[in-house]
Amino acid sequence: MIQFSINKTIFLQALNITKRAISHKNAIPVLSTVKIDVHKEGITLTGSNGQISIENFISVQDENAGLLISTTGSILLEAGFFINVVSSLPDLVLDFKEIEQKQVVLTSGKSEITLKGKEAEQYPRLQEVPTSSPLVLETKVLKQTINETAFAASTQESRPILTGVHFVLTENTALKTVATDSHRMSQRKLTLEKAGDNFDVVIPSRSLREFAAVFTDDIETVEVFFSNNQMLFRSEHISFYTRLLEGSYPDTDRLIPKEFNTIAIFDTANLRQAMERARLLSNATQNGTVKLEIVNQLVSAHVNSPEVGRVNEELDTLEVVGDDLVISFNPTYLIEALKAIDSDQVKVSFISPVRPFTLVPNNETNDLVQLITPVRTN
């Protein structure tokens, strides 16, 4: 029967990371538990919601953890409850001891808490992902890519494939990442420093957001592995599994226009604030749009809600070239696109009032392009 002692803070940190994969209300009751495997080398904490699974390893070598293992074994404990109990313990050190009937006694200071656990055999087996020939990615780069694209994925299950982000590696170093909900699209291209085997997968955007929360900035690189329908991100202590979306992702390359009739360069923050004002009133209109007018190189934004009122705003620009234009669109799409642009200036390029327009950072060193479809108004 398990027995170990550990630093409470380190144990709690590891539990909280694992908890990100655990849903309190899971259709499969055993998935609301955390699995604790105690072996000679350390402790592995496992959590899963069926979509993503996280394994977190605390090594006996880790001096901060102060991990002393007397007896090994495995057990399941109700995750949310167990974490609350551990975080409430009075002392810096906690003793964990399994007693009869799968019960666990936690002792810390003068406090002694006994919890009922479950047989570890009840826990489902995680699907295995072969770990040969890893692709090594910088965590920072991967997280920025997620930040730039995942928001544009669909949140509706009507076309499940669009709830994912399309990751494609070609020529061993050319990574393309793209997400679209069919109203807007965001695509980031980049060249990897280290070559890897080509792949073409669609990763659920929700999994990517959890990935970004679990892999903190102190983890410099992650190894990436694929199986048919699973993917594994692995760092020294954390293994993060996510299922992949099945089906073929639509061809998005053909959507990106190359030639434009009107181009305007804005200060990114100014344009975003103007759209946030416009949105306050466009939310109260029937089609929820803002109208952008470009006349004689002057750009203005207009919303007219018969119920609430009107916005009329002259927008500062750094440069405007090309034809006059009047175009209507959902300001939320523009606001979210601008949030993902890490550049002081943004270049917005239009073809016509009925064709999608593009946004690119004006200091374009990399290759980020966003697309927004206008709304036809009469």
Q: Using the rule CB under 8 A, which residue among 24, 116, 339, 355 binds a second copy?
A: 116
Check: CB of residue 281 under 8 Å from CB of residue 291: no
Smallest CA-to-CA distance from 329 within 313, 347, 352 is with 352
Of 90 and 130, the one with the shorter C-beta distance to a second copy is 90
Whole-number minimum distance, CB 82 to a second copy, in Å?
A: 10
Report if residue 3 touches a second copy, rule: CB under 8 A: no
Q: Is 153 in the site for a second copy (CB under 8 A)?
A: no
Q: Contact 315/333 with Cβ under 8 angstroms?
A: no
- Binding mask of the shown chain, residues 160 to 199, with x at each position contacting a second copy by CB under 8 A: ----------------------------------------
- Interaction mask 312-341, a second copy, x per CB under 8 A: xxxxx-------------------------
- Is 135 or 299 the residue whose CB approaches a second copy more closely? 299
Rounded to whole angstroms, how far apart are CA atoms 240 and 51?
Answer: 11
* Closer of 118 and 189 to a second copy (Cβ): 118
C-alpha span between 240 and 232 (Å, rounded): 6
Binding part of the chain for a second copy, among 11-19, 104-112, 206-214, 224-232 by CB under 8 A, reads: 104-112
Interface residue with a second copy among 128, 297, 309, 326 (CB under 8 A) is 309
Distance from C-alpha of 324 to C-alpha of 201, rounded to nearest angstrom: 41
Site membership for a second copy, residue 281 (CB under 8 A): yes
Binding status of residue 267 toward a second copy by CB under 8 A:
no
What 8-state DSSP symbol labels residue 124? P
Closest CA to 126 of 229, 257, 205: 229
State in angstroms the smallest separation of the CB of 298 from a second copy. 11
3-state secondary structure 221-278: EEEEEECCCEEEEECCCEEEEEECCCCCCCCCHHHCCCCCCEEEEEEHHHHHHHHHHH
Cβ proximity to a second copy: between 255 and 308 the closer is 308
Size of the site for a second copy (CB under 8 A): 32
Tell me whether residue 116 is exposed, middle or buried, using C-beta atoms within 10 angstroms of its C-beta: 0 to 12, 13 to 18, 19 or more: exposed
Q: Which of 29, 50, 90, 247 binds a second copy (CB under 8 A)?
A: 90
Amino acid at 40: K
Residue in the block written with tokens 């994969």: 21
Number of other CB atoms surrounding residue 101 within 10 Å: 7
Residues of this chain that bind a second copy (CB under 8 A): 78, 81, 84-85, 88-90, 103, 110-116, 270, 273-274, 276-277, 280-281, 307-316
